[in-house]
Amino acid sequence: MPLPTDDPCKALVLDNDPIRMSAVADVLKNCGFTVESAMDTKSANHWLSAEQFDAVLCHETINGGSGLDVLKMIVKEHPDISFVLMADSPQSPSLLEAQKLGADIFSTPGDYATLFPKLAAIQSKAGSRSRSQRMTAHPVQLPELQAGSSRVERANVDMIMDVPVTINAVLGNTSVLISDLLQLGPGSVVELNKRAGEPVDLFVNDKLIAVGEVVVVNETFGIRITEVIDAKQRLQALA
């Protein structure tokens, strides 16, 4: 099940059945989405023109049209929005055409085991797009720390010296299937992509600033730095 995030995705649920629509909306909210709902194509068009959505979950039947009609409009006018077609049966005739247009499929009611990975993928896609937009909209250029730098340059650097940042030490990482993730429990072992003795990466704001080795200091884990990147890159990591 996807976990709620600090920057929630926004989803629009379209269905002519209010009970089914409410159930799907509750699932999305529990997964960290903010949700709007509509029962007809007119309301759907209103929401899509007024708000920015990361995902649309639309039943194959909706007042004033069909799920395929909404999907075709999304593909044409809002190509960045992820689309999930909700169908009453996996054998629904509209599914094949929807998949050709790039839609994901969710069989209602209650096929949430297949829905959760789709929601996680939508959150990941939206998060990557959001980070890219923030980097583009707010470029940061910091002066190089060199002998003979001007007083103005050093004053600009001094302005951020008291800003707290969080350092993350990453021992390693790996990828697992959702099915394997759901089977984890006490005693499970997750194999990482690093061998014993390899250096640990240190990140600030998701940017690598140094590597080191794990040590124990007064019964607490620590990192002894063995290599650091240059000063300019370290400052850029704080942006």
Give residue-wise pLDDT tens across range 65-76. 888 889 999 999
In whole angstroms, give the CA distance from residue 185 to residue 189: 9
Does 19 fall in a domain? yes
Is there a single domain that holds both residue 21 and residue 121?
A: yes
Q: Indicate the SS3 state at residue 123.
A: helix
Higher pLDDT, 108 or 225: 225
In whole angstroms, give the CA distance from residue 42 to residue 136: 34
pLDDT-based confidence at 139, cuts 50/70/90? low
Does 133 fall in a domain? no
**3: which 2 tokens?**
């976990």
Residues counted in the chain: 239
Contact 55, 12 (CB under 8 A): yes
Is there a single domain that holds both residue 203 and residue 101?
A: no
Beta-sheet strand order (sheet of 104-107): 34-38, 10-14, 55-59, 82-87, 104-107
Indicate whether 135 pLDDT > 50. Answer: no
Indicate whether 24 pLDDT > 90. Answer: no
Give residue-wise pLDDT tens across range 183-199. 888 888 888 877 777 88
Does 62 fall in a domain? yes
Give residue-wise pLDDT tens across range 61-112. 888 888 888 999 999 999 989 999 888 777 777 788 888 888 888 876 566 7
Higher pLDDT, 146 or 158: 158
Is there a single domain that holds both residue 23 and residue 67?
A: yes
Is there a single domain that holds both residue 16 and residue 73?
A: yes
Is there a single domain that holds both residue 200 and residue 123?
A: no
| Helix or strand holding residue 70 (H, E) | helix 67-77
Does 32 fall in a domain? yes
Closest CA to 56 of 26, 80, 32: 80
Higher pLDDT, 237 or 159: 159
The domain boundary residue, chosen from 101, 128, 155? 128
* Domain CATH code at residue 69: 3.40.50.2300
Q: Residue holding tokens 């059945």?
A: 17
Does 5 fall in a domain? no
What range defines the domain where residue 73 resides?
Answer: 10-128
Does 24 fall in a domain? yes
Is there a single domain that holds both residue 50 and residue 107?
A: yes
Is there a single domain that holds both residue 47 and residue 114?
A: yes
**183: which 2 tokens?**
């089977």
Is there a single domain that holds both residue 169 and residue 228?
A: yes
Domain count, the chain: 2
* Domain CATH code at residue 227: 2.30.330.10
